[in-house]
Chains A and B, each alone.
Chain A
Amino acid sequence: MKYLILIHNEAATIESIPADLMAEYTRVHEAVIAELMASGEFVETDELEVPTAKQVRTDESGAVTIVDGPYTEGREITGGYYQVDVATEQRALDIAARFVEARFAPVEVRRLVHNN
């Protein structure tokens, strides 16, 4: 079953991450990628670029409003994702729990509806 693991960051804390903690972030990601590739559970992963964050809204008349990010008022932003192909939801949750980001902001686990 395919799941998307959405990793959120607290926007305010991104810039204040100490270097050694950053190294730990990286270590965990690389270890997870290596493990998932070895087990065949890996589908893909990517980071989402922060400065390009935009929100698009349309109202009933069809008028489009674009709001530029980043959103710095203590809001959580999605920092990256993994797509994994795992046997159980529990496995996806276990993977999600390993990311250092989970200590500061929620990591979301969502099953893909159509691509399964």
Chain B
Amino acid sequence: MADEQGGAVADAARDAVATTWRAQSARIVAALAHLTRDVPLAEDLAQEAVAQALEQWPRDGIPENPAAWLTTVGRRRAIDLFRRGDALATRYELIAREPGFGTVSDPAALVDGGVDDDVLRLIFVACHPVLGREARIALTLRVVAGLQSEEIARAFVVPVATVQQRVVRAKKTLRAAKVPFETPSAGEFDTRLADVLEVIYLVFTEGYAATSGDTWVRADLAREAIRLGTLVARLVPRDAETHALVALMELQASRFEARVDAEGDAILLDDQDRSLWDAAAIARGLGSLDLADSLIDSRGRGPYALQAAIAACHARAQEPADTDWTEVVVLYDALLNLRPSPVVALNRAVAVSRSTGPATALRLVDAIARGGRLDDYAPLHAVQGDLLERLGHAAPAARAFRTAASLSVNERERAVLLRRAEELDPGGGAPPPSAIMPLNDTTSPHEKEEPR
């Protein structure tokens, strides 16, 4: 049927818009900001171009170079805008003088020296101190990394509307403060850099352990983060933590190929075929860590260097049994000292389970759970389930795995967790017996005691 065909074409066009935006938003917005010197305006123009693409591509077909199409449309809209405002006439002339502004074949070709520096400027603007930390992260993830608001919301465990509001407010703030499209001065570079590194790492994490959808590994996003980190490292070659961040990302990314099986299911660190680990990425990571260590001052290793050192412990181990878990625990202790957090404490507990044993680790994890801050954090329950299983408590382990599965938004991860639960306690995930049978026939005395 013609309608069905039309529907398929429209779906393909919509997919193309989404894919292009995901992969190229940073370059498109950066190219537009390069022209307009105005990041919020550039973002608006890019969004308008996306809206036009959603209208036009289903009808006219997907252009040969979708990113260039979006950039060109954004540029035309910028010019229309400037034409309407006399005050901006000079700016219009500036743009009009740019070679071939009407027919951009590649957004990178817009600027001499490539679009990378503009992407970096874009990140510095998105991470500008006039913005709150959450706004910086939300804006960078959306504009630079091209994430959907839903994904950002999940990463921060906040409602989607909150993220959308954050982005809108962030852009208003940038506009009101007339934040220039430029790299920060030497004086403020270090503090601005710390924010940028944090955002880059969050982008990496989003790509490394996808929080949504059925794709465990979104390598492109992680590679984008590594690329941005490497770019920043090139710009500030004496900064230990920047090299450490690159080391951390390279070492973690080295395991991409080994992290999923043929069916797309997750493979845990212990079960990974280590021959699939990317030796070149490990070498780059260890090199960056050495470089970082050679640059540290009297304060010692920073948080990224400690995390990279932990990743290096895994990368150096030919077999899981070769892992120096005692060293990993020591590194986590240092990290906890520097950055106290229940998530770090949980990771430390996992290392303790390997260096000391499951009973000790379970006590630590239970204490973290009692803290209550990780109630909705799937890995907490997964770790609890794992330790309970190792201590022989099949039913509570299955319950913990099911809780973890209910909290996990990654379909493959959820499948792995549910399978483990089912193996331990078949049918245990069925509706509570009380729903289908008289309460006193089925519940244990312990359960009856609960409500009081």
Contacts and interface: CB of A to CB of B under 8 A. Distances in A.
Contact of A45 (B356, B360, B392): B392
A67 B294 CA distance: 64
B393 A44 contact: yes
Contacts of A29: 357, 359-360
B392 A30 contact: no
Nearest to B396: A46
Interface in A43-102: 43-47, 83
Contact of B392 (A27, A31, A42): A42
B434 to A, nearest CB: 24
A26 B357 CA distance: 9
A37 interface: yes
B71 to A, nearest CB: 59
A38 to B, nearest CB: 12
Nearest to B355: A30
Interface residues of B, number: 9
B390 interface: yes
B357 A30 contact: yes
A83 B359 CA distance: 14
A26 B359 CA distance: 8
B358 interface: yes
Contacts of B359: 26, 29-30, 33, 45, 47
B156 to A, nearest CB: 35
A34 interface: yes
A43 B392 contact: yes
A47 B357 CA distance: 15
Contacts of B357: 26, 29-31, 33-34
A43 B389 CA distance: 10
A44 B356 contact: no
Contacts of B390: 33, 37
Contacts of A27: 356
Interface residues of A, number: 15
Nearest to B363: A47
A30 B391 contact: no
A46 B360 contact: no
A43 B359 CA distance: 14
A47 B358 CA distance: 13
A27 B53 CA distance: 64
B358 A33 contact: yes
Contacts of A37: 390
B360 A44 contact: no
Contacts of B392: 42-45, 83
A43 B392 CA distance: 5
Contacts of A31: 357
A27 B392 CA distance: 19
Nearest to B360: A26
A47 B363 CA distance: 10
Nearest to B392: A44
B356 A46 contact: no
A52 to B, nearest CB: 11
A30 B356 contact: yes
A46 B360 CA distance: 11
Nearest to B391: A45
A55 to B, nearest CB: 15
A29 B391 CA distance: 11
Contacts of A43: 392
26 contacts: A26-B356, A26-B357, A26-B360, A27-B356, A29-B357, A29-B360, A30-B356, A30-B357, A30-B358, A30-B359, A30-B360, A33-B357, A33-B358, A33-B359, A33-B390, A34-B357, A37-B390, A42-B392, A43-B392, A44-B391, A44-B392, A44-B393, A45-B392, A46-B391, A47-B359, A83-B392
Given A33-B358, A33-B390, A46-B393, 19 more contacts: A26-B356, A26-B357, A27-B356, A29-B357, A29-B359, A29-B360, A30-B356, A30-B357, A30-B358, A30-B360, A33-B357, A34-B357, A43-B392, A44-B391, A44-B392, A44-B393, A45-B359, A47-B359, A83-B392
- 4 A-B pairs closest in CB distance: A44-B392, A30-B357, A30-B356, A26-B360
